[in-house]
Amino acid sequence: MLSRRFLRIKVLHAIYAFQQEGPENISAGEKQLLVSLDKLYELYINFFSLMLELRDFARRRMEENRQKYLPTADDLDPNLRFLENKFLHQLADNRDLKRRIASYKINWVEEEEIIRKFYNRMRETEAYQEYMNKEKVNYSDEKNMIAKVVLLLFSESELLRSFFEEKNIYWTNDFDIAVMMVDKTISGYKEKSDEYTALPSLLKDEHFEDGSEDLQFVKILYRKTLINSKELDKVISERAITIYFLYCG
């Protein structure tokens, strides 16, 4: 799923960390780089889990409204379109997503206030209201609502960014990349996708029997850059001086 460009960015972050306060040797740094890749995927799974939690919160809220002492007509006969969103149903049924959520032990039980804020903000958006009030919606409408409303709310939320950064140091630089990955996954989802549809892997060839070329690319780039850092610094310095005299001399 990650392009070589984003893999280079991850390597760059790892090299910078190594040069600042990093691990005792290149091998230890490489292990941290691989851990950071797994943590990026965990963040990606967290976004999908949060979408499902938002739907579950909406269901709980509707049930609470039905139990009011004096429920309104809307309380008794609520608009169920968001709850019945087909894309969210596909996510909820997806076996691969369920397995990964369980593996990463993702749980939002203690974070109801965050869920509540997102639910209320979502309901206030013009795009959500248009989706809920549209006479008919198709699968594309349902996917677009999630991408344009829910994911957009996530990506613009400093609260959520801070929340994830506090949970894991690796996620400080991964937030925007994870949002991009989620958006790409939503775009590629098909109406015929069923519960057995696997989520995209982080490295597009990581399941190959002879190993992942992307993983080897990451390891080689990381090691060679650090091993040859003095030589590379000299080349960069010489180029920088040349450019300075060309444009400023």
Query: What is the chain's pLDDT, residue by residue, as a tens digit (249 residues)?
Result: 888 888 888 888 888 777 776 667 888 888 888 899 999 999 999 999 999 999 999 999 999 888 888 888 887 888 999 999 999 999 999 999 999 999 999 999 999 999 999 999 999 999 999 999 999 999 999 999 999 899 999 999 999 999 999 999 888 889 999 999 999 999 999 999 999 999 998 887 665 545 578 888 888 888 888 887 666 555 445 444 454 345 555
pTM for this prediction: 0.85
Q: Within 67-125, where are the H helices?
A: 73-76, 86-93, 95-103, 112-124
Please give, one letter per residue, the 3-state secondary structure of 30-82: HHHHHHHHHHHHHHHHHHHHHHHHHHHHHHHHHHHHHCCCCCCHHHHCCCCCC
Residue 211 backbone class (left: φ over 0; alpha: ψ -120 to 50; beta: rest): left
Residue with tokens 């999908």: 48
Q: For residues 106 and 95, give the distance between their C-alpha atoms in angstroms, rounded to a whole number.
A: 15
Amino acid at 172: T
Cα distances from 86 to residues 29, 91, 119, 162, in angstroms, run 43, 9, 18, 30
Amino acid at 206: E
